Amino acid sequence: MNILVTGANGQLGNEMRIVAKDSSDQYIFTDVTEQVGVQTTFLDITDLDAIRTLVKEKDVRAIVNCAAWTNVDAAEAPENRALAEKLNAEAPENLARAMKEVGGWLVQISTDYVFGKEPYNTPCRPDQKGTPTGVYGETKRLGEEKIKEVWANSDGSTGGYVIIRTAWLYSEYGKNFCKTMLNLTQTKPQLKVVFDQCGTPTYALDLAKAIQVIVQKPVQGIYHYSNEGVCSWYDFTQMIARIAGHKDCDIRPCLSSEYPSAVKRPAYSVLDKRSIRETFGISVPYWVDSLEKCIANIQKQQTNASN
């Protein structure tokens, strides 16, 4: 099967490159940027005709959409809202249309930011009504709705969609919270990190492995995937420092109100993953176990780079 991956030079896209190495499927990795050392096919997912052409040329049977506008704060700027909506809502609709025309599947990566306005205190279910608090969450939720509209009244027997909401994504690649805190806990004597926002960190490699399973036997619907467990950003930072052996940084908890932001982030966005486990037989690792593996890989990369 030929599988097209968009946003291939981002965090999740790079992890998809890794899992693809052990796959019998043919992966086509696309992006609008180039990355040294890896092959990338240029594809603008806001251009429906370009998508159709590539799908036809490569006989694509499934698309994994890892591309998105992910700068949560910048999305709130009036001059960026239209672009955020174009990338997060209109582009997924384009991908859905192209796949429906050939009876293929779209795996769309969405976010816990579709939740947040309501005072949740139990894990958010896939069928739970979304209540986003900002432009990023609103545009990602709109993207979900547009995809569902393309396949309205379809049971998935001749192609369809799988929407996977994830949260707190980190990896060895690009900029992310884990890599930032590895640096700060090593170089700063003191840090303040919010403890009144709770969720679950997600190692992008774990998500990539789950996607690889799902794309083989997709079942239409919305699912949740993050690692298992619950923590605050403060707890996440403490664990990063502990695993890395950074003992000299004084990490202190603080309230979100101490760090004014353009958007209100979800105070509790733990995701209920029962349906993805039961439907696809996926085992979900505990967040600390996956964090240990990622940090070990980052430290290995740093050692190799210095030699």
Unique residue bearing structure tokens 């097209």: 4
Neighbours of 90 (CB within 10 A): 17
Report d(CA 31, CA 21) in Å as an integer: 19
Catalytic pick from 27, 136, 173, 234? 136
Give strand pairing partners of 306. Answer: none
Structure tokens belonging to residue 126 = 């896939």
* 220 contacts 192 by C-beta, under 8 angstroms: no
Neighbours of 249 (CB within 10 A): 18
Unique residue bearing structure tokens 């990190």: 193
Three-state DSSP class for residue 101: helix
Query: Can 136 be counted among the known catalytic residues?
Result: yes
Amino acid (1-letter code) at residue 20: A
Report d(CA 288, CA 239) in Å as an integer: 8
The CA angle 147-216-278, to the nearest 5 degrees, is 80
DSSP state of 158: T
Structure tokens belonging to residue 84 = 């955020």
Unique residue bearing structure tokens 């499934």: 62
Closest to 196 (Cα-Cα) out of 265, 136, 123: 265
Q: Return the sign of the alpha-carbon dihedral for residues 173, 132, 220, 167.
A: positive
* 115 contacts 269 by C-beta, under 8 angstroms: yes
Give catalytic residues, as residue numbers: 136
